[in-house]
Chains A and B, each alone.
Chain A
């Protein structure tokens, strides 16, 4: 447990501390995107034929979108045009042979994990977390698989799943986020390099939190992760995702896709703490994070819950959504998004009610500081057959300073008159009186701000698994340092 204490001590340093570049050999394909690159990626990974076909269809679709200049422009974010031909679409740490244990792992990679405070080894066992660590684009180590295997739980890299369980992947891939879904999802479908795959069989409650740490490392490498989680009938799984990335001057594109499928009576809880490099104080650099995350509550009484703490990235474009297809299914979205310095976040959710007596809850907490611009964009759609649907939306914004902005775009579309909709929204500013009150009790201004902000976010933090909640609080405090004079 001392590991986490040390991690938090390190977190208390003002500047983005994870700005180191690990020096390991990379195997890269040339810059740019064409059919050959797609074929190369698929071939390098020795993928089954259906996968290559799907990638190629996605690629052709993406090309048509690119030609039609269909990159989405509706979000409340500004960035220089991305040159998609100036990106390396695949990079893998060179490995000579298959590894039998962590001891055989490149010591450089192990040291990187240590700097990140990600103990791959036994410590995680104590914490009850299995880690499938993604280093750049290829999974290099997976732990606790055996224990999970006893229960029939599959938790592995996407590449491995394609080798071992191609029929499962083929059955579910693209069923929630088709390759035609949007510009960035199409791109991802064509070139995704790796990611995680989870399958929890009927009636199994996954006994540990599943966790993946993503890390972007190779210079000029866009990262395109693909995650697919299937909870079969009556299954339960909680999945954690946490990210950091090193300092770099050029902007880095990240376009991930996450698909969740919950069958009858199944539950999926997906938690994210996102702390990619946000750019410097003048707004130079930082990650462009264009993510498509969607879950389908396919079965009756199923439940999907998204919890996210978004403190990093220069640009965040992300709307984890739920399709409430099964009757009585439940969708939840709990979000904290922070935009400090020149960060821009346009994030929210979509709740699409199809089944009867479906219900959804949205709690969004946006924090803007410095010159940050924070946008909540949400859509709640009650379709014609969704009798007895309910939605509760709470959307709060907190402003720190007078140069930042908070924006809210809630879209509500109701096609069934039995629907019950509630929407609450508030915008507040951290007041001098609130700060003074805490300072008068002995707290430093920065600690006072952090306390007020953490209080503001409490509704969301309590949805996070314990160790993540603590980390998220610290992260928020660190991300806000220097925002109060």
Chain B
């Protein structure tokens, strides 16, 4: 069974159609990259899959582990193993990173019928993951994303992913706003989480990230449709030629 099967997905936001018939299949263990110019619908796809309520699905279906993903609330999708690394992580003042993450992990464990994890078991695991992302221990007790730099916020997203161990990880422009060192650290964190059980959907604007997180497949999204799919070399071709030629090629089909 496929992990994720997107069929003819159409979605609106504020009455505007952004996704115009996406078809995509992800199997466990695969890393797919979605690339495309600004406004092509990359982030919308990420948000729809993680069940953001502002997006209205008008057509199509999405099967996740054989279940109807579009019927799930955001927290159900999360508990079923869908994780979104946000492009713009929000701040939660007054709630420590540790408390937040343990609450999230326990909500997921509870959903799966597992015992909740107490602080004694949680903290060593948390510290280990902090090391993986070369993050300071001090971040444990700071409020979620409050006063974090752009790079720290993105690392914090991957830290959460490392702790929550999703089956499907969606990374929405995780590279934006990162300097080259932070990019390497984030990519190392992501690569450490690659495995035969887990699929990843890496949404990015630039090829740069894909030097570090090498995808198995690359899809180019233009105007709400996937217009071309290929291997990792497609990303290089895009880097060289830009999106213009693909957009031009895509034109006749959409006309």
Q: Which chain A residues have a beta carbon within 8 Å of chain B's beta carbons? A: 431-434, 436-445, 447, 451-452, 454-459
Contacts and interface: CB of A to CB of B under 8 A. Distances in A.
A442 B104 contact: yes
A458 B50 CA distance: 30
Given A432-B54, A433-B90, A455-B143, A441 B95 contact: no
Contacts of A444: 75, 107
Contacts of A459: 94
A43 B92 CA distance: 57
B89 interface: yes
Interface of B: 50-54, 73-75, 77-79, 83-84, 86, 89-90, 92-95, 100-101, 103-105, 107-108, 111, 143, 160, 164
Given A447-B107, A451-B100, A455-B143, A439 B94 contact: no
B50 A455 contact: no
Contact of B73 (A439, A452, A454, A457): A439
Do most interface residues of chain A lie in helix, strand or loop, or is the interface mixed?
helix
Contacts of A437: 86, 89-90, 92
B75 A439 contact: yes
Closest 8 CB pairs of A and B: A455-B94, A458-B94, A441-B104, A439-B74, A455-B95, A442-B107, A442-B78, A442-B108
A432 B104 CA distance: 18
Interface-central residue, A437, A441, A447, A451, by most chain B CB under 10 Å: A441
Nearest to B106: A442
B103 A436 contact: no
A442 B79 contact: yes
Contacts of A431: 90
B164 A442 contact: yes
Contact of A456 (B51, B79, B94, B105): B94
A64 to B, nearest CB: 48
A434 B64 CA distance: 25
Given A437-B90, A455-B143, A442 B95 contact: no
B90 A434 contact: yes
B133 to A, nearest CB: 17
A441 B95 CA distance: 14
A451 B95 contact: yes
Contacts of A455: 92-95, 143
Contacts of B101: 441
B224 to A, nearest CB: 22
Contacts of A442: 75, 78-79, 104-105, 107-108, 111, 164
A454 B95 CA distance: 8
Interface-central residue, B78, B108, B143, by most chain A CB under 10 Å: B78
A241 B105 CA distance: 35
Nearest to A457: B94
